[in-house]
Chains A and B, each alone.
Chain A
């Protein structure tokens, strides 16, 4: 092990870790917002409401993220309409392509988590809300969603960790996040074991902090108090 090299390049890896965190934060927050209507639609009683989000979720969960990333980053350029369109400055930029693809990808998974959580809300609580005179929308906002958020939180924290690992794929479209940065450094130093080892430690550290953070959030939202009933 060549520790000097690891220490020398730690600041560069740290920069990469910041970009990784940025991508993940963007994706899981935007993904949650996008997933909210989809998850609610997926839990609907009407098949025609369920069908559209189902197709979306089926595609994004059934294909590799790498394919989706290449479809957006390389694929969009195939169409002149896109290239002359107003969004081209963004679709040309690997950063926004990675953010967009990761958001669309994780939204499909989060929507499924939400659907499961909404369906796991005890029926009696929904009926109680309706009996108190709440409209369907009110029951959704005040009773079902706050309850589903607590049921789905552990699964959501898993998804965030999975996205942290998936963000490594952004290096394939030239982004210098943690993995991309490690590959660049290796191209210069020819020390793959040391640098990948250091990058791996960064991922482990980030995952550790995220897991602890979600534990705190679970305690703050009093998730345990709503369980076992």
Chain B
């Protein structure tokens, strides 16, 4: 809603040559991409943190390798690698299940790549949150006869969110800006739509500046949302410092 107003407002400042609706569609695509990558990334991050804090050496190694490897390689490289690198794999998979010309869409590849990167950082955030829950809580769960999985689901996880939220919020801001990278593989999100508008209007500065302001708007919306979510999550807790 805030973006509607923003774009409407910019009509008066910038002449968008009728590309306003296209940019709006691109913005929606950007939001969709960011949210789906967020979902995948949260799952990956949680699994990574569980692996890293588990008692089994191979799992620890797996979690550690995942977060180190993915964090050491540029996001753009992951986007390109997953989009172009899986073509052969998907084709042979398609032959195996009898679907002709199976391939990853730009949206799916973008979601996987950005989710992977988000998850690698989220692993560290979640790990810190798990370690911040006092040992006694886990032991209390066990003393009550809850299984390990139930103890995690019922006792650890609900408390983890509050601690992990600020870190996850920061990661989401980074994720939202990284969605621009998926324009490189042709997904028609905000950045790609702006490029298309530039090609026909020959006004690169205008359109990229509008795109920049839309990203700023999205960041402000996300920041505000985070503020309220954090406030809700920490109700009943006294703020220290």
A residues near B, CB below 8 A?
58-59, 62-68, 70-71, 74-79, 164-169, 171-172, 179, 182-183, 186, 192-193, 196-197, 199-200, 203-204, 207-208
Chain A residue nearest in CB terms to B209: A71
> In the complex, are the beta carbons of A166 and B74 less than 8 A apart?
yes
Interface size on B, residues (CB 8 A): 36
B residues near A, CB below 8 A?
69, 72-77, 80-81, 84-85, 87-88, 177-181, 183-184, 191, 195, 198, 202-206, 208-209, 211-212, 215-216, 219-220
Selected from A59, A166, A208, the residue in CB contact (under 8 A) with B212 is A59
> In the complex, are the beta carbons of B204 and A67 less than 8 A apart?
no
Expressed in whole angstroms, the Cα–Cα distance for A71 and B69 within the complex equals: 32
> In the complex, are the beta carbons of A64 and B80 less than 8 A apart?
no
> In the complex, are the beta carbons of A78 and B206 less than 8 A apart?
yes
The 9 closest A-B pairs by CB, nearest first: A75-B205, A168-B74, A74-B204, A64-B180, A192-B84, A165-B74, A64-B177, A78-B205, A168-B76
> In the complex, are the beta carbons of B77 and A67 less than 8 A apart?
no
Of the A-B pairs whose beta carbons lie under 8 Å apart in the complex, a sample of 10, sorted by A's number, is A64-B180, A71-B205, A71-B208, A165-B73, A169-B181, A182-B77, A183-B80, A200-B81, A204-B73, A207-B72
Enumerate chain A residues within 8 angstroms of B198, measured Cβ to Cβ.
Answer: 74
Expressed in whole angstroms, the Cα–Cα distance for A207 and B71 within the complex equals: 10
Min Cβ gap B88→A in Å is 8
> In the complex, are the beta carbons of A165 and B80 less than 8 A apart?
no
Known A78-B206, A197-B81; further 18 A-B contacts with Cβ < 8 A: A59-B216, A62-B215, A63-B212, A64-B177, A66-B180, A66-B181, A67-B191, A67-B211, A67-B212, A75-B209, A164-B74, A167-B74, A168-B74, A179-B76, A196-B77, A196-B80, A196-B84, A203-B74
Chain B residue nearest in CB terms to A193: B85
> In the complex, are the beta carbons of A196 and B205 less than 8 A apart?
no
Min Cβ gap A67→B in Å is 5
Expressed in whole angstroms, the Cα–Cα distance for A77 and B205 within the complex equals: 8
> In the complex, are the beta carbons of A75 and B191 less than 8 A apart?
no
Expressed in whole angstroms, the Cα–Cα distance for A65 and B177 within the complex equals: 8
Selected from A64, A179, A207, the residue in CB contact (under 8 A) with B178 is A64
Interchain pairs with CB closer than 8 A, number = 106
> In the complex, are the beta carbons of A64 and B216 less than 8 A apart?
no
Enumerate chain B residues within 8 angstroms of A167, measured Cβ to Cβ.
Answer: 74
Enumerate chain A residues within 8 angstroms of B76, measured Cβ to Cβ.
Answer: 168-169, 171-172, 179
Please judge, given known A-B contacts A66-B191, A67-B215, A186-B84, whether A172 and B208 are in contact too, CB under 8 Å: no
> In the complex, are the beta carbons of B73 and A66 less than 8 A apart?
no
Expressed in whole angstroms, the Cα–Cα distance for A77 and B180 within the complex equals: 22
Please judge, given known A-B contacts A64-B177, A67-B211, whether A78 and B72 are in contact too, CB under 8 Å: no
Please judge, given known A-B contacts A71-B205, A75-B208, A79-B205, whether A64 and B77 are in contact too, CB under 8 Å: no
> In the complex, are the beta carbons of A64 and B73 less than 8 A apart?
no
Enumerate chain A residues within 8 angstroms of B179, measured Cβ to Cβ.
Answer: 64
Selected from B74, B204, B219, the residue in CB contact (under 8 A) with A179 is B74
> In the complex, are the beta carbons of A193 and B81 less than 8 A apart?
yes
Enumerate chain B residues within 8 angstroms of A59, measured Cβ to Cβ.
Answer: 212, 216
Min Cβ gap A79→B in Å is 7
Expressed in whole angstroms, the Cα–Cα distance for A99 and B81 within the complex equals: 25
Enumerate chain A residues within 8 angstroms of B203, measured Cβ to Cβ.
Answer: 78
Enumerate chain A residues within 8 angstroms of B74, measured Cβ to Cβ.
Answer: 164-168, 179, 203
Chain B residue nearest in CB terms to A194: B85
Enumerate chain A residues within 8 angstroms of B202, measured Cβ to Cβ.
Answer: 78
Chain B residue nearest in CB terms to A203: B73
Enumerate chain A residues within 8 angstroms of B181, measured Cβ to Cβ.
Answer: 64, 66, 169
Enumerate chain A residues within 8 angstroms of B177, measured Cβ to Cβ.
Answer: 63-65
